[in-house]
Structure 1
């Protein structure tokens, strides 16, 4: 096992922890005895989750922060250390997507997405990893998507952001070899979390485009993600169908794949 042992002055930082995959990852870590620091914009949801997780007998901290704000990101590590805690695990889960063709996009919304999905990952890794490496222990779990393995017409910026997260985290893993710190990329397929509705399409529309066999619950995604982090795996793809689809999409000629993806995406209907 590669995760540091839990201790009262150690914490696992989970961004985007107010709902969905982030909340489930926090639950998985707490059940393993790890204290957690929950980070998101929604204070009320974080506090409710914190109350639940304290029932596991672990220390839980809540930090409200908008991670598209560079100043908020810059202050996060200091806020954690100011509470007498050492960040032993970093889970970069916060993220969102825009929807529709780039030619009809809102530049402000597109840049905001990249700020959260890409820049926040780079920023927080750059701030938290030095301490982990100096201590000789720690783990980073960056949440990408199976969109990282293929183009995504209709969500071009989101798909490209997840390609970045996958490549970036794999590079981190290479750099961290022998340091006692690991880096894992979690690449879920479709999950019922409300993520799609926030992007602009319903779960029903997504299910019409993606077969039921590909859907995995947020609880299962979190379970296999944390297990993969604990085992030091490079990439974790929950669900057999998603693993097969990711492998196939990487070797399918783009001339064949792109028309299929374009026709099926609800954002281009």
Structure 2
């Protein structure tokens, strides 16, 4: 089986490439600026805004599965339109596709969200991701849209690096006590995505851990795992800041978990010292 990982140079993309190769899949990855540290069979430069280039990469790789783990931030052409063009190509070629979305498609007003919840984003990024979800499933009804929460693992995630910077005093800032998510380990997430890609399920699937934690609680767990002084982590309230975004978003992944062999561990489990 040949797998094409869009955004293979990123944090999640690199783990997808590693696991796909370990499973024996011929794997190609794409990058925007430079190849990542992972070792696919081939790297392909790709700008999701360039439909011609996108078509050329898909035709050259001729994958059985495509996993879109790219991130274009608030750039609508990359984050919203790009995945839809990709889904159109996947549908044309009869290729299995998994599109990685986000919990930012929700406002937090309802706090608890399962797969039946309708998106109600309150940020430009969330709006772009919500548009991509709708478009992907409209043009490729057999595709999977996977929504993770905060992705953690191996000390390489943005949140883990921030915790180290705050604990050492190298960076300024605070970890919010009112900003709550359900973190997932990058290894569990990648395994679940590959499992979904190899199945015949379709539609929306939540891939978050079972533990709801504030950013500060998560930071404390990371600090304890890494032998840092957790008392040095500044606490704050997102509600008092000018940052846009939801406060409390808790993805319910129970329905998807029942379909998976992969266990989506909670942060209290995967961040235990020695794990």
TM norm structure 2: 0.59
Tell me which residue corresponds to 1:49. Answer: 38
Structure 1 segment 157-236 matched on structure 2, within 5 A: 157-172=124-139, 175-176=141-142, 183-192=143-152, 193-194=157-158, 205=174, 208-211=177-180, 214-231=182-199, 232-234=201-203, 235-236=205-206
Query: In structure 2, what is the equivalent of residue 66 of structure 1?
Result: 47
Question: How many Å apart are 1:157 and its aligned residue?
Answer: 1.4
Q: Distance in 1 between matches of 2:242 and 2:121?
A: 11
The structure with the largest helix share of the pair is 1
Work out the number of aligned pairs and report it.
194
Partner-residue secondary structure (3-state), 2:9: coil
Q: Distance in 1 between matches of 2:173 and 2:182?
A: 14
Matched residue, 2:97: 140
Q: Residues 179 and 238 of structure 2 are in contact (CA less than 8 Å); yes or no, is this contact kept in structure 1? A: no
Kindly indicate whether the alpha-carbon contact (under 8 Å) linking 1:209 and 1:265 is maintained by their aligned counterparts in 2.
Answer: no
Flag structure 1 segments of 5+ consecutive residues without an equivalent.
Answer: 1-5, 54-59, 99-112, 133-137, 177-182, 243-260
Please report the TM-score for the alignment, with normalisation by the length of structure 1.
Answer: 0.61
Conserved? CA contact 1:117–1:161, under 8 Å? yes
**Contact 1:206/1:266 (<8 A) preserved:** no
Q: Which residue of 1 aligns with 2:243?
A: 267
Counterparts in 2 of 1:207 and 1:76: CA distance versus 1, 3 Å? farther
Q: CA deviation at 1:96?
A: 3.0
Aligned position for 2:62: 86
Measured in 2, the distance between the counterparts of 1:195 and 1:240 equals 18
Q: Distance in 1 between matches of 2:244 and 2:126?
A: 15
Instruction: For structure 2, list consecutive stretches of 5 or more residues without a partner in the other structure.
Output: 108-119, 162-170, 213-236, 246-275
Q: Paired residue for 1:19?
A: 10
C-alpha separation between the residues in 1 aligned to 2:78 and 2:192?
24
Candidates 73, 85, 90, aligned match of 1:97: 73
Partners of 1:196 and 1:163 in 2: CA distance: 26
Q: Whose strand proportion is higher, 1 or 2? A: 2
Cα RMSD, aligned residues only: 3.3
**Separation (CA, whole Å) in 1 of partners of 2:15 and 2:173:** 22
Distance 2:172 2:188 in 1: 18
- Shift of the 37–228 alpha-carbon distance from structure 1 to 2, 3 Å rule, reads same
Match for residue 20 of structure 2 among 29, 40, 47 = 29
Asked whether 1:119 is paired with 2:107, we answer no
Stretches of 4+ moved more than 6 A in 1?
A: none
Match of 1:77 in 2: 58
